[in-house]
A and B are shown apart, each in its own frame.
Chain A
Amino acid sequence: MTAAAPSRTAPPTSSLAASRRFGTFATTFSLCGPIAYCLVQYFNLPLLTYWPATGRLVFGYDGGRSGEGPNMLWYGWILTAILIVTGLSLLATMLPERIIRKIPLALIWILPILVIPYIVYSLMPWWIMAAK
């Protein structure tokens, strides 16, 4: 069907792309990433909290403080999620190949779609205020 065959290339020349172990790391990282991010956000586990109005950076979660403006947890959530999935991915590289092969790769693109309802739900305060 694909006379132009745009997506076929020669085997990878980069050692990283040719490495099976990196493949396991990359697929586990992306597979667990969206779930880890949503869990970190749900349990509110930021690695750091940033106060943009005062430029203050605090490790871990830091709630509201009078006179310092709003805090930002997003950076902290991403960093925590990256730390968790890096750990999981490193563990996955130690698993036998036959177990890794059983993981359906389609989950990598299905899971980000499945978490959308949770993301929408987590933003409920915005939608409630918009509806008033």
Chain B
Amino acid sequence: MNDLDDKALVARCLDGNTAAFEVLVDRYQRVLYNVALRMLHNREDAMDASQTAFVKAYEKLDTYDPNYKFFSWIYKILVNESLNQIAHRKPQEELDSAIMAPGRSPEDEVGEEWVQDRVQAAIVKLPLEYRRLVVLRHFGDLTYRDMAAALDLPEKTVKSRLFTARRMLKDLLNQRGTVRA
């Protein structure tokens, strides 16, 4: 069943074959979890959002329109779920640095991991409407068109916001000395 495409798997799920949904979970759990993690910056919340997204997708599978890609559709559910979680948070919780590598010593403050932490921290500092575009493009590997479908935005808006988001990200990293101006 692993070699079936998403639409064929969805069709099997609708016929009552839950094993087909397991293949979809295997296929998308890593990327969905990472998208949620970059959006929410907290592992437990990312786990909850991913789990809820999968379960809601399963429950609403009969509303899925096969003219669209399955992963754009499930990302849309995930992004909405992540936004719900953020909306229910207290303001100070959003800037949590929980996913940065813990216990970093001054000696570690060089090299690849340090840069990765800085990039992650900068992504979290982006306003949500920009952050979700960077996350979907770079962690979900979505095209402009897929992002437009996932976010219910015109493709043009997606493109211009993504470009603005990258400029903001570059500025944030420049302030922190990670990317040269």
Same complex: no
